[in-house]
Amino acid sequence: MQIRIVIAVSLLGASLITAQAGASEAVPATVPTTAIPAPVAAAPADQSATIAALTKENALLQEKLKAMESCSISSTDLAARNSKKLKEITADVRAQRQSMAEFESYVKWMSGHVASYSKYIQASSVAARFVRFFPIPYAGQASLFTKFVSDSAVSLGAASVSINKYLVTSQQFLSRADALDPNKPTYNQDVSDLVRFADQDLLKGMTEVQDRLTTTSQLSASSLSFLESVNHYVGSGDEALTKAKSFLKSDEKAEKSFLAESTTSLRNKAQVFNGKLQLFDATVKKTAPQIKALVAYDDLARSLDPKFAKK
Question: Above 60 in pLDDT, residue 240?
Answer: no
Q: Are residues 229 and 144 in the same domain?
A: yes
Contact between residue 273 and residue 214 where contact means Cβ atoms under 8 Å apart: no
Q: For 18-37, b where at least 16 C-beta lie within 10 A, e where not — what string?
A: eeeeeeeeeeeeeeeeeeee
- Write out the E strands in 37-123: none
Q: Are residues 7 and 135 in the same domain?
A: no
Q: Are residues 108 and 23 in the same domain?
A: no
Question: Above 90 in pLDDT, residue 103?
Answer: yes
pLDDT range class, residue 133, cuts 50, 70, 90 = very low
Q: Are residues 25 and 103 in the same domain?
A: no
Q: Are residues 157 and 8 in the same domain?
A: no
**Torsion angle, alpha carbons of 288, 153, 243, 255, to 10:** -80
Q: Are residues 82 and 58 in the same domain?
A: no
Position 27 scores a pLDDT of 42
When the pLDDT of each residue in the chain is averaged and rounded to a whole number, the result is 75
Q: Are residues 64 and 97 in the same domain?
A: no
Which tens digits make up the pLDDT trace of 266-298?
Answer: 899 999 999 999 999 999 999 999 999 999 999
Report the predicted TM-score, pTM, of the whole model to 2 decimal places: 0.66
Which tens digits make up the pLDDT trace of 183-227?
Answer: 999 999 999 999 999 999 999 999 999 999 999 999 888 888 777
Give the residue among 256, 228, 247 at the shortest CA–CA distance from 127. Answer: 247
- CATH assignment at residue 274: 1.20.1170
**Domain of 24, in residue numbers:** 2-70
Q: How far is CA 243 from CA 77, 83, 183, in A?
A: 75, 67, 76
pLDDT range class, residue 245, cuts 50, 70, 90 = low
Q: Are residues 64 and 167 in the same domain?
A: no
The CB density around residue 179, as the number of other CB atoms within 10 Å, is 10
How many domains would you assign to the chain? Answer: 2
Position 271 scores a pLDDT of 94
Please identify, among 48, 70, 92, the residue that sits at the C-terminal boundary of a domain: 70
Q: How far is CA 127 from CA 145, 239, 303, in A?
A: 11, 10, 68
Please identify, among 70, 90, 122, the residue that sits at the C-terminal boundary of a domain: 70
User: Where on the phi/psi map is residue 163: left (φ > 0), alpha (ψ -120 to 50), or beta?
Assistant: alpha
**Phi, psi angles (nearest 5°) of residue 235:** 90, -5
Please identify, among 70, 105, 127, the residue that sits at the C-terminal boundary of a domain: 70
Rounded mean pLDDT of 98-103?
93
Q: Are residues 34 and 164 in the same domain?
A: no
- Sorted by sequence, the CB contacts under 8 Å of residue 77 that are 6+ apart come out as none
Q: Are residues 36 and 166 in the same domain?
A: no
Position 119 scores a pLDDT of 63
- Residues 263, 259: Cα–Cα separation, whole Å: 6
Q: Are residues 63 and 141 in the same domain?
A: no
Q: Which of 32-36, 150-154, 236-240 has the lowest mean pLDDT?
A: 32-36
Cα distance between the two ends of the chain: 130
**Phi, psi angles (nearest 5°) of residue 159:** -65, -40
Tell which wins on pLDDT, 209 or 144.
209
Q: Are residues 58 and 185 in the same domain?
A: no
